[in-house]
Structure 1
Amino acid sequence: MQTNLMIHDGTAAPDSDVPRTGGVPLAPAGFSWPVCGCGGPLRFFAHLPVEDGVLSVFVCQNDPGACEFWAAGSRANRVHLFPREGLRPVAVPETGVTVLPVVSAIRTQVVTVDPEDCDEDADPDAYDLGREGWRREPGERFGKQREVLGSLGGSPSYLEDDRVPACPSCSVAMEFAAHLEEGAAWETAMNLGGQLGYVFVCRPCREGAFLTD
């Protein structure tokens, strides 16, 4: 069983076109920074280059727990699938909780784990097994599992089918794109209430969605 993990890989320039959490979004000309239903700007979470573009993820952090950042389709989060061409740094709003304090570079690592290594009383979950497999990789050290910032592709970990969001444009169930963890340390973390984030996308409509477990 293989999982394409996203691993913390030091820091990166805030406007770099590399997989990262934090920094500033890269978007087409004319893009406006998204605003939550509370009236404040969303906080930029992740820049994730994928095969057919760039996933750009935003989550409200103006008053964590008050806005429904955990719900797909709420105004408290936003996911965009931008084309790779013509992207440029977006001007950051002068007020509100808009960017993470530290930029975290991401590298991908395919981890293979034998499902027989999991608990006999539990259903094997590819993401959980992948995180456990990374902890066992050579060079194990305390806290190594915190280096996992999520995963790309695969299937959503333990998410019930009825929570898979439908595209607001075509009403078809969206495709799972990525898991996102809060972060490797408090300085780099997004406050998701201790939950795992899920990123979905409708590639034909270039629409996205975010939710937590």
Structure 2
Amino acid sequence: MQTTLMIYDGTAPADSDVPRTGGVPLAPAGFAWPMCGSCCGGPLQFFAHLPVEGGVLSVFVCQNDPGACEFWDAPSGANRVYLFPREELRPVAVPETGVTLLPTTSAIRHHVVTLDPEGDDGLTPDAYDVARSGWKSEPGERFGKQREVLRSIGGSPSYLEKDRVPICPSCTGPMEFAAHLEEGITRQTAMNLGGQLGYVFLCRACREGAFLTD
């Protein structure tokens, strides 16, 4: 059993078409910056650019008044996930007001961790939890190394109850899990997730996405 972690890999150009947190979103022509539909009505903050099979996931979360708008709830309107085609993406104009960008653009590299299919008690372990611990214990251990894990791609959602899996608003089917999100390695690079783990889901057929935290 393998899990693909995404590891902090220094800084990246703000408009690069690589896996990253922060920077500016890349989108097709005509895309309008998303606004919070929960309570504040302000522009959402751009969190992550995640190339996946079939396109690019672009994740936005409201940070104008943290705790006021329910950014942790998928249907709240305080977050947005888009699945864009990879072709003809261009930097999006950033609104002049509101909390829109992270302070730093962080590059991400993929790191595959191979797991034992069963734990010592014979039960199937949580793949993401075990993979993060595996990364920490690999050669080169250093203080704070586990915080270098910014997310994982694919697999299954860690400890998320089945009744919280989002339903696609277009086809009403359950969405596919796409990625975990961690807050970040430092205060300067962090995404504010309220100290929780973030989950990104998508419906490939309808090109819809969803975000929530635990």
TM range (shorter): over 0.9
- Give the equivalent residue in structure 1 for 2:4: 4
**Contact 1:31/1:90 (8 A) holds in 2:** yes
Q: Tell me which amino acid in the other structure corresponds to 2:209.
A: G
- Give the equivalent residue in structure 2 for 1:209: 210
Q: Tell me which amino acid in the other structure corresponds to 2:205.
A: P
| Structure 2 residue matching 1:130: 3-state secondary structure | helix
- Give the equivalent residue in structure 1 for 2:179: 178
Q: Tell me which amino acid in the other structure corresponds to 1:185.
A: T
Q: Tell me which amino acid in the other structure corresponds to 2:116.
A: D
**Contact 2:80/2:211 (8 A) holds in 1:** yes
- Give the equivalent residue in structure 1 for 2:28: 28
- Give the equivalent residue in structure 1 for 2:150: 149
- Give the equivalent residue in structure 1 for 2:66: 64
- Say which of 98, 103, 106 aligns to 1:104: 106
| Structure 1 residue matching 2:29: 3-state secondary structure | coil
Calculate the TM-score normalised by the size of structure 1.
0.96
Q: Distance in 2 between matches of 1:137 and 1:179?
A: 21
**Contact 2:117/2:124 (8 A) holds in 1:** no
Q: Distance in 1 between matches of 2:11 and 2:152?
A: 18
Residue 113 of structure 1: how far off its partner (Å) = 2.6
Q: Distance in 2 between matches of 1:78 and 1:108?
A: 24
Calculate the TM-score normalised by the size of structure 2.
0.96
Q: Distance in 1 between matches of 2:122 and 2:29?
A: 52
| Structure 2 residue matching 1:9: 3-state secondary structure | strand
Identity of aligned residues (%): 80
CA displacement 1:83-125 (0-9 Å, x = unmatched): 0001000000000000000000000110113255x57498610
Q: Distance in 2 between matches of 1:40 and 1:120?
A: 49
| Structure 2 residue matching 1:32: 3-state secondary structure | coil
Residue 190 of structure 1: how far off its partner (Å) = 1.2
Q: How many residues align?
A: 212
After TM superposition, the structure 1 = structure 2 runs for residues 45-64 of structure 1, keeping only pairs within 5 Å, are 45-64=47-66
**Contact 1:21/1:46 (8 A) holds in 2:** yes
| Structure 2 residue matching 1:10: 3-state secondary structure | strand
- Give the equivalent residue in structure 2 for 1:82: 84
Q: Distance in 2 between matches of 1:148 and 1:33?
A: 28
RMSD value, Cα: 1.3
Any unmatched runs of 5+ in structure 2? none
Q: Distance in 2 between matches of 1:49 and 1:203?
A: 13
Q: Distance in 1 between matches of 2:155 and 2:184?
A: 20
Q: Distance in 2 between matches of 1:35 and 1:12?
A: 26
Q: Distance in 2 between matches of 1:144 and 1:48?
A: 22
Q: Distance in 1 between matches of 2:163 and 2:22?
A: 30
Residue 180 of structure 1: how far off its partner (Å) = 0.4
**Contact 1:115/1:129 (8 A) holds in 2:** no
Regions of 4+ moved over 3 Å: 118-123
**Contact 1:135/1:145 (8 A) holds in 2:** yes
Q: Distance in 2 between matches of 1:24 and 1:106?
A: 15
Q: Distance in 2 between matches of 1:91 and 1:120?
A: 53
